[in-house]
Amino acid sequence: MPTIDALANDLSTYLEPVQVNLVRRAYYYAAEAHDGQTRRSGEPYVTHPLAVAGILYDMHMDHQSLMAAMLHDVIEDTGVTREAVASQFGEAVANLVDGVSKLNKLDFSTQAEVQAENFQKMALAMAKDIRVILVKLADRLHNIRTLDALAPNKRRRIAKETVDIYAPIANRLGLHNIRMEFEERSFWMLYPMRAPLIEAAVRSASGNRKELVQQVQSALELCLTRENLPGRVLGREKHLFSIYRKMRNQKKSFREITDVFAFRIVTDQVDTCYRILGAVHNLYKPVPGRFKDYIAIPKVNGYQSLHTTLFGMHGIPIEIQIRTEEMDAMANNGIAAHWLYKSASDRPNQSHIRARQWVQDLLEMQKHAGNSLEFIEHVKTDLFPDEIYVFTPRGQIMELPAGSTPVDFAYAVHTDVGNACVACRINRRLAPLSEPLQSGQTVEIIASGSNPNPAWLSFVVTGKARSNIRHFLKSQRRSEAITLGRRLLNKTLSNYGYHLANIPKEKVGGLLEETNFEVLDDLLEDIGLGNRMAYIVAQRLLPSEVSGIPENVEHGGLAIRGTEGLLLTYAKCCHPIPGDPIVGFISAGRGMIVHIEACNNVADFRNDPKKCLSLRWDPGVEGEFWVELRVEVEHQRGIIAHLANAITGCEANIEKMTMSDRDAQISVINLTLAVRNRIHLARVMKRVRLIKSVTKVMRVRN
């Protein structure tokens, strides 16, 4: 069992004596706070924070991170407050401890909500101090090492959360060693029967191939010596979880996965990496299309290396990674290398800069997410392991998850560019916004004053794009709901000779207090969404002597302009168009649905002022409206073409067409058309009737 003295002795190799003493003091403070508490394994609880600090020592983290590791559970599990930690150890340490602490004071309905809220809180703390996530990852690493004492169902839950969230985060921050340990240990917890079988198969295969591996390694070393190139050749061990994942994702057998030999060549400088690449390509023939240059274009987590696959002896594939010593350290330690190899004059490395940018993106997503579950959904989406690399018109490289579209690219450039995006060019040709991008393409966004399209949510990949589109649509929906709510309330009040502007402020304030709304806009939004009836609200705002249904109702109804937006929809049962007599049905959560007065679906509510509202078309109504036609025709070759020509000749669009036989002589064609109003529809129907083989044309309602 590690002791504080042993850890202090190790820390003295790179920390000042004063700093080591501060870490000691934090340990004794934690030991006193956790006095009497034990872990499930029976050990004193303080052994856990000590072990977490030990993991951070391996990364050569600073003394404040180590102090936070010692104290990371005192706020959560003891009576110690954040203020007490701040007064004893300073604000920086208190912020780190608070960021890692869970939200244990609130009640949540589901375990998923608990996890989501905790992660959201930690993400906000990460934005202030990136070290929060390193302390959290070290905490999770020690927990996953000591899961044996827990019940099997709890072990599986923690292992799944680790694989889903913490392993991808470690990968995103370039912490390769921590990610591999997360995945390996979680694999044993999640698949206790598969893991030992794969391990036994790997052990057996390794024994059989030992001599062959040695021959390949010797050939590579001899090649470097012959070409006078410095470098060490290391065999790369394939991990159980990565073997299992490849078998499952690529649908390959165990033998196909493990028949690949993997080596890493570590050298002194970048120039030598490319010279070694040429040498190994002369030694064995390269597999076409399997070379990747992550030195020129690093991965999104800062990883750099040359990857190539060769046809080795007996045709066996050999995977080779070529990198410098510094790149190897970065690949294993990622963002932690900022502290591990830091000197007083060092500026933050690329991995640290990228990590900070990622955290800033997280913060933007959190601002736009509706709740913690939506936020964590965006984060999971953003932790894709595979990237593509595309170029802006000026040659700047942008990293995006595999499958990204031009809309994802637009939001990666800037939120405002994404919101105003209307079209794009890929390699100078106009392309659909939904087209998946490929590495190496140049993408140009054409922007104007338009707004995000709700249809984009069906194809965007990045969390940043998804959260920004949703945020915009929510804001637009709220704005439209307030406008519609105000119109509905004023229309109802006008039937009694009143207007919202004439209602005393005290009356409005009293109603807001009664309905638990802070401002009038919130109440109007609720009315616009259909959650609260304008008729009921009007009754509460009117003077007590005015009540009941008014005798002199203003004729004409609320005017429909056709530009109301998301909160006003046209019923698909009767397809109302300008010129039809209409009524509005208030639907909870959806706003107002416009029906034709004679529609069967509103027959029961037509005279109920709480559910239905009299409407009229504004003289300046604009837009296209869907309508259904039923056309009966005699069988004749080319009738569909004649029909389509007649309709498009009247400037109407055909959205949908279906055809069926009524009998041996007559076919029935059902059409969905876009028209401007009833006059336009009458013109279309007249033109269709002139076709010789058409026997009947009628508009379909209900």
C-beta neighbour count of 695 within 10 angstroms: 12
C-beta neighbour count of 12 within 10 angstroms: 12
Write out the two tokens for 500: 């919202």
Q: Which residues pair with 232 in a beta bridge?
A: 266
Q: How far apart are CA 309 and CA 315, in angstroms?
A: 12
* Helix segments in 162-193, DSSP class H: 167-172, 176-190
Q: How far apart are CA 202 and CA 123, in angstroms?
A: 38
Q: How far apart are CA 160 and CA 190, in angstroms?
A: 7
Q: How far apart are CA 169 and CA 173, in angstroms?
A: 6
Nearest alpha-carbon partner for 338 in 324, 315, 322, 355:
355
Judge contact between 378 and 365, C-beta under 8 A: yes
Burial of 382 (0-12, 13-18, 19+ CB in 10 A): buried
* 76 tagged catalytic: yes
Task: Identify the active-site residue in 43, 58, 62, 76.
Answer: 76
* Residue whose structure tokens are 């595999």: 402
* 77 tagged catalytic: yes
Q: Phi first, then psi: what are they for 15, rounded to 5°?
A: -110, 155
Task: Identify the active-site residue in 10, 62, 77, 399.
Answer: 77
Judge contact between 7 and 57, C-beta under 8 A: yes
Buried b (16+ CB within 10 A) or exposed e, 568-591: bebbeebbbbbbbebbbbbeeeeb
Return the H-helix or E-strand segment holding 696.
strand 694-699
Instruction: Give the CA angle between residues 544, 545, 550 to the nearest 5°.
Output: 105
Judge contact between 595 and 572, C-beta under 8 A: no
Q: How far apart are CA 307 and CA 292, in angstroms?
A: 5
As annotated, the active-site residues are 76-77
